[in-house]
Structure 1
Amino acid sequence: MTFAYRVLTPLCLWPWDNSSPNTRHRRAFLKIPTISKFKHLHPWQLPMLVALYIGLLLNFPFYRKLAEIFDRLGQVDLGFMLSIPLFICAVLTLLFTLICWGPLRKPLLCTLVVLSSLACYASLTYGVVIDYGMIENFAETNSHEALSYLTPGAALWFVVTALLPSLLIWKAPLTPALKYHKAVISSCLVIVACVATVLCIATGYYQNYTSVGRNNSYLKAMIIPTHAIYSGAKYVSNTYLAKPEPFKHLGLDAQQAKSDPQGKPNLLVLVVGETARAKNSSHYGYQRDTNPFTRERGVIPFMEVSSCGTATAVSVPCMFSAFNRDNFDGKQARNQSNLMDMLSHAGLETLWLENDGGSKGVADRIPFHTMDPKANPSLCKGGVCFDEVLLAPLKQQIEQQTHDGVIVLHLIGSHGPTYFKRYPKSKGPFTPACETASIENCSSEELVNVYDNTLYYTDYVLGQVIDILNNNAGQHNTAMLYLSDHGESLGENGLYLHGFPYSLAPEEQTQVPMLFWSSEQFAQQAQLNTDCLTQKAQLGGFSHDNLFHSVLGLMSVSTSLYHRDLDLFASCTNTPSNT
């Protein structure tokens, strides 16, 4: 009992709490030094100390990347190297002094420490950069996906680097409030000192900073927490503060021209994959057979397909929009008609079946059905379902469909870091597999095995979709197009997961699989030459930009927004809509 008292009491008592005799007695017994013996902090000193903590310690990922750059450069000016942490601390002190005032000083500083801790952990563990795209992706993450990142290591990191420092900040003794003019003067002196430091460093090493910054422009995005704050403020401004604009209806001229109105309806199942990278697909030369089910069903793989983004929140709206990746604007895209809207306007039956984190606005104006884990206990665990859960509603919809239509299946696919939860154990042939969310602690073999299992299971589901379409060939002309939203990093170059800025992202995050299958009846009705398409698919050089125009062309929908040169099927068909 005495041992527990001695151990636990220091964790429960704050040394600066002198409110009761018992507290003072216990402190004397434990011989804990009281902070009242130390000089109280002036209000301007607290932001400076927090800036030093964040600038020197929580910016370790930034300094690590700098070390790699300096190592490649060879001989680097020592004074320039030493000036960098001083420069960052001066800028952070300046920033924190300007924004952390009065009663909001401690709450704001605690918030900055928490945000910096999270950004540092994400960068150290997964190699991600907290930019606008990552903020957007995180904001649209559902609770089950967010909880998958909560690991014992993450919790311990948060306690040590965020919670404890925040408590110290909150309890830090400050001198009695200075008169207003004295507080202003002291803060102004700090600001002047910071500005002078920055100017001196800039004057002495301007050429060095310009050279390193120009050749490594991504470095500014790695500085914690400035870029994260800027990106978060931009996201909030664009999402919640910007004046709403009227919805822009596009493709109102869209109409379908079917060559045989009395024939069987055409049905395209568009499967949107999640986090599947082409590098680990046997369709693209991967040595391990991760695609046995689609290969034996005769799919056509398209080579060298680039994604529009490295995160779902960007890629999915982009691939369904009339924009190309180069001119894509997420805010604008969500405020105007997309591919599914135009198909619906042209008279096609549309449906979005969801088993991931939502359609990201694409299916807001068409029939939408998300999978209910409670209604499918055999295929769902912990609020997340295996992708097989989509097959039953797909069958049901096909049986009810009487006109030409497009059904979208949005898979959860290979979404990490809990890859082991994306497939049934019976559909995971590659062992040993990493069965933890702390993927950075798994061996490379275990991580690749568990990821390949997700691809194997996705391929199984695609094979089942094809079988369902084949079984309904008597009532429909059927086809399937599969395209993943983005790829994934599995530890290459210290990167994990996805979401890295596109201009810097490795091909593991941007090169994705795209597969096409059609029944003979669909190919005949669409006058599609599959031999020609197979040859064209081998040429490569495709992207998400092709999806919008290819689906319009495949379903014989004409509109002024359609561009034949971006239609994957146009050069191998003779249909009127594509001539």
Structure 2
Amino acid sequence: MKTTEFLNRGISYVTFTLLLALYFAIVVNIPIYKELVNIFLSLDQVKIGFIITIPIFFFAALNFLFNLFSWPWISKPFFILLLITSGMVSYASYNYGILFDTGMITNIVETDTSEASSYLSAYSVIWTLIMGVVPALLVFKVKLKPIGGKWLRFTFTKVLSMLASLAIIAVIAGLYYQDYASVGRNNSYLKKIIIPTQYVYSLSSYIKENYLTTPEPYREIGTDAKQSQLALEQAKKKPTLLVFVLGETARTQNYQTNGYNRETNPYTNMLDVISFKDVSSCGTATAVSVPCMFSQLPHRDFDRSKADNQDNAIDIMQRAGIDFLWKENDGGDKGVAHKINKIEVDRKQENEFCNGETCYDIALLDKLDDQIADMKGNRVVALHLIGSHGPTYFQRYPKDKAFFQPDCSRADIENCSVEQIVNSYDNTIRYTDFVLAQTIAKLKTLEYKYNTAMIYVSDHGESLGENGMFLHGMPYGLAPDFQKRVPMMLWMSPGFKQAKHINTDCLAQEAQQTATHSHDNVFHSLLGIMDVETNAYDGKLDIFKTCRAS
């Protein structure tokens, strides 16, 4: 029978659901089969019967679940949407090893259009069309047999199909429970790869937390904040100017100053920069790490909804009378700069810095002198870089800065070699180093007016093909160190060191310590170095405190 005849003749809801469950079990879930192959290859022995039952188990489980949503009027819209989104999820999971937990959903929702477009490629579009859109069109076209008044019969056949699914699951459990339990316990992340259950659950959790839950009352902290008398007196003579550079997707393992065997830091190497060797990020995605590092909440207690509803380090510094400016080139401050002056680089312009879609980070330094001059007293400027954000690494640096070759000049990095991907990524690190050196050069020209310093820290790291994983955003407990170890660098002018009474040798030695620094230090170090006195400050987490003369 031809497909068109089959579609026009019509099928029952039970058959419709069975076919969808079969398609999802066999085709859409290829990411988990890819992962299972790697697991099985690492084991000494695997039962053939156990392997054969896995797609049968998925088919039975999905058939049971899909029957819950296979009803007149809602079946087609629901499964059309499910197929299209599942096609996208399948692409990201299979090619990049991405897991769609609640944190990843948050990151997706907060991604701007420019960043989202960087994931588009001919390959991703074709994958989504074949995997999701074409099946969705078939669902749209298929004719479902009307129920008429036979609701009892309809319900009976649906329940019978669901009971049959449970019976299949029970038989499989009876035969291979120990095998499933063993693989599941040793690889607990596998459940996060199953499509569509994981991403649908994560999406529903996100909606519940953000739209169906009453937010906590806003909590002001550090209400007693004020600058020290010495800081206020110095501001009248020679104000402090701290530039806080917030990086994007830079991992410490690819920093020459931290032991990497490639020249990724040639510009800052000769600039008396202190590099902190071992710094842990708070998250593996911008949506978590940026709010976390500015929050008083430590990583172990961090909750985004709670952090969004209380003052952060920026709010407290502003309350103390410090003038703060945020310059943005990464699609958003994630709510941390909601009360201060913000300037966003216009990525729609076309000039030496921008191509109409994205801008090089050097654009953040444009007109910075005038913007600093418009500020008052002691001041902090935050520069939010797009840094090493993938997969379009090649768009983060101009062609004359493509030092490592051959690089990957395309968005679908899965079609580049790992060597090309690493070269492109290292070019982004090297270009960020160039931007940092230019920032320092600018601060040096302003030393006659201000006591200047620069702190650089990245929000999270990146996977570059290790264990078949790319990009970032893995659940923190499962993420490799490549996504959780970030660079942190510090430069200080002579005037800044003198005004803040900093022992440089002490601080350089402090930077060599391992497993002692993290994003938890940012909140307290900013308050400390800007001499903000408040009960919200904890000196034990201030990286400067032990190296400052009282």
- TM, length-normalised to structure 1: 0.91
Worse overlay, 468-477 or 188-197: 188-197
Aligned to 2:76: 106
Percent identity among equivalent residues? 48
SS in 2 for 1:293: coil
In structure 1, the residue matched to 2:155 is: 184
SS at 2:49 equivalent:
helix
Deviations 1:417-447 (A, max 9, x none): 1111111112222222211111111122222
Paired residue for 1:210?
Answer: 181
By how many angstroms is 1:161 displaced? 1.2
**Cα separation, partners in 2 of 1:33 and 1:153, compared to 1, 3 Å:** closer
**Residues 50-87 of structure 1: CA deviation (Å, up to 9, x unaligned):** 01100111111112212222222221233332222222
Counterpart code for 2:504? T
1:90-105 to 2 correspondences below 5 Å: 90-105=60-75
Match of 2:198 in 1: 227
In the TM superposition, 1:248-263 aligns within 5 A as: 248-259=219-230, 261=233, 262-263=236-237
2:521 alignment partner in structure 1:
546
1:436-478 CA deviation, whole Å, 9 max, x = no partner? Answer: 1111111222222211111111111111111111111111111
Name the structure 2 match of 1:140: 110
CA contact (8 A) 2:349 2:356 kept: no
Name 1:366's counterpart in structure 2: 340
Contact 2:8–2:143, Cα closer than 8 Å, also in 1: no
Q: How far apart, in 2, do the equivalents of 1:388 and 1:191 lie?
A: 59
For residue 357 of structure 1, report the CA deviation from its aligned partner: 1.4
Counterpart in the other structure of 2:22:
52
Give SS of 1:135's match: helix
Q: CA deviation at 1:382?
A: 2.4
What letter corresponds to residue 161 of structure 1 in structure 2? M
CA contact (8 A) 1:135 1:235 kept: yes
- 8 Å Cα contact 2:349/2:355 also seen in 1: no
Which of these residues, 385, 388, 407, is aligned with residue 414 of structure 1? 388
Greater Cα offset, 294-303 or 106-115: 106-115
Residue 563 of structure 1 pairs with residue 534 of structure 2: no
Following superposition, the deviation at residue 142 of structure 1 comes to 0.8
2:405 counterpart SS class: coil
Amino acid at match of 2:151: Y
Quick check: 1:281 aligned with 2:255? yes
Matched residue SS, 2:230: coil
Give deviations 1:333-385, integer Å, cap 9, x for gaps.
11111110011011110111101110000001111111123566221112311
2:501 aligns to what SS in structure 1? coil
Does the residue aligned with 1:540 lie in a helix, a strand or coil?
Answer: coil
Partner-residue secondary structure (3-state), 1:158: helix
Runs of 5+ consecutive residues of structure 2 not aligned to the other structure: none
Moved more, 315-324 or 211-220: 211-220
> 2: distance between equivalents of 1:242 and 1:136?
16
Query: How many angstroms apart in 1 are the aligned matches of 2:246 and 2:309?
Result: 21
Q: Distance in 1 between matches of 2:105 and 2:348?
A: 30
Q: Aligned-pair distance for 1:496?
A: 1.1
**Structure 2 residue 56 is the aligned partner of structure 1 residue 82:** no
Cα-to-partner distance string for 1:516-536 (whole Å, 9 max, x where unaligned): 011111111111101110011
Structure 2 counterpart of 1:166, from 122, 133, 136: 136
Change in Cα spacing, 1:63 to 1:374, as seen in structure 2 (3 Å) is closer
Could you say if the C-alpha distance between residues 154 and 432 of structure 1 is closer, same or farther in structure 2, counting changes exceeding 3 Å? same
- Report if aligned partners of 2:348, 2:358 keep a CA contact under 8 Å in 1: no
Residue type matched to 2:392 in 1?
Answer: T
Alpha-carbon offset, residue 100 of structure 1: 2.4
Give the counterpart letter for 2:113 in structure 1: S
- CA separation in 1, counterparts of 2:344 and 2:195? 37
State the shift of 1:199 in Å.
2.8
Does residue 278 of structure 2 align to residue 304 of structure 1?
Answer: yes
Aligned to 2:369: 395
The one-letter code of the counterpart of 2:102 is: Y
DSSP 3-state at the match of 2:307: helix
Alignment partners' CA distance in 2, 1:47 and 1:297: 65
CA distance in 2, matches of 1:34, 1:105: 20
1:527 corresponds in structure 2 to 501
Query: What CA distance in whole angstroms lies between the structure 1 residues aligned with 2:372 and 2:7?
Result: 77
The alpha carbon displacement at 1:394 in A equals 2.3
Match of 1:131 in 2: 101
Q: Is the 8 A contact 1:58 1:120 kept in 2?
A: yes
- What displacement does 1:267 show? 1.4
Q: Deviations over 1:493-517 (max 9, x none)?
A: 1111111111111221111110001
Of 122, 125, 149, which residue of structure 1 is paired with 2:92?
122
Check whether the contact 1:428–1:456 (CA below 8 A) recurs between aligned residues.
no
1:481-496 correspondence runs (5 A): 481-496=455-470
Contact 1:376 1:389 in 2 (8 A): no
- State the number of aligned residues: 545
Aligned residue type for 1:433: D
- Report the counterpart of residue 3 of structure 1 in structure 2: none
Residue 218 of structure 2 is matched in structure 1 by: 247
The alpha-carbon deviation at position 36 of structure 1 amounts to 4.9
Give the residue type in structure 1 aligned to 2:29: N
In structure 2, give the amino acid aligned to 1:280.
N
Question: Within 2, Cα distance between the matches of 1:36 and 1:259?
Answer: 83
CA contact under 8 A between 1:131 and 1:231: conserved in structure 2? Answer: yes
Cα distance between partner residues in 1 of 2:174 and 2:82:
29
Report the secondary structure of 2:237's partner residue: coil
Classify 1:38/1:238 alpha carbon distance in 2 versus 1 (closer, same or farther; 3 Å): closer
Classify the secondary structure of the residue corresponding to 2:13: coil
Q: 2:207 aligns with which of 236, 247, 250?
A: 236
Q: 1:188-220: per-residue Cα shift (whole Å, max 9, x none)?
A: 111221222223333443333222222211111
Letter of the 1:49 partner, please give it.
L
More deviation, 439-448/173-182: 173-182
Structure 2 residue aligned with 1:24: none
Partners in 2 of 1:156 and 1:207 — Cα distance? 39
SS at match of 1:381: coil
Q: Match of 1:88, as an amino acid?
A: F
Q: Distance in 2 between matches of 1:532 and 1:574?
A: 11
SS in 2 for 1:382: coil
User: 1:37 deviation in Å?
Assistant: 9.5
Superposition misfits of 4+ residues, deviation over 6 angstroms: none
**2:256 pairs with 1:264:** no
Greater mean alpha carbon deviation, residues 418-427 or residues 64-73: 64-73
- SS state at 1:384 partner: coil
Determine helix, strand or coil for the equivalent of 1:295: coil
Matching residue of 1:383? 357
Map of 1:154 onto structure 2: 124
Q: Which SS does the other structure have where 1:252 is aligned?
A: coil
3-state SS of 1:373 partner: coil
The answer for the alignment partner of 1:27 in structure 2 is none
1:316 alignment partner, SS class: helix
* Secondary structure of residue in 1 paired with 2:267: helix
Shift of 1:38: 8.8
Deviation (angstroms), 1:43: 1.2
Q: Could you say if the C-alpha distance between residues 36 and 89 of structure 1 is closer, same or farther in structure 2, counting changes exceeding 3 Å?
A: closer
Equivalent position of 2:404 in the other structure? 430
C-alpha displacement at 1:33, in angstroms?
7.0
Deviates more, 1:84-93 or 1:327-336: 84-93
Task: For residue 493 of structure 1, give the secondary structure of its aligned residue in structure 2.
Answer: helix
Looking at structure 2, the residues matched to 34 and 442 of structure 1 have their Cα atoms a distance apart, in angstroms, of 39
2-side partners of 1:34 and 1:335: how far apart? 55
1:448 to 2:448 alignment: no
State the alpha-carbon separation in 1 of the partners of residues 421 and 136 from structure 2. 35
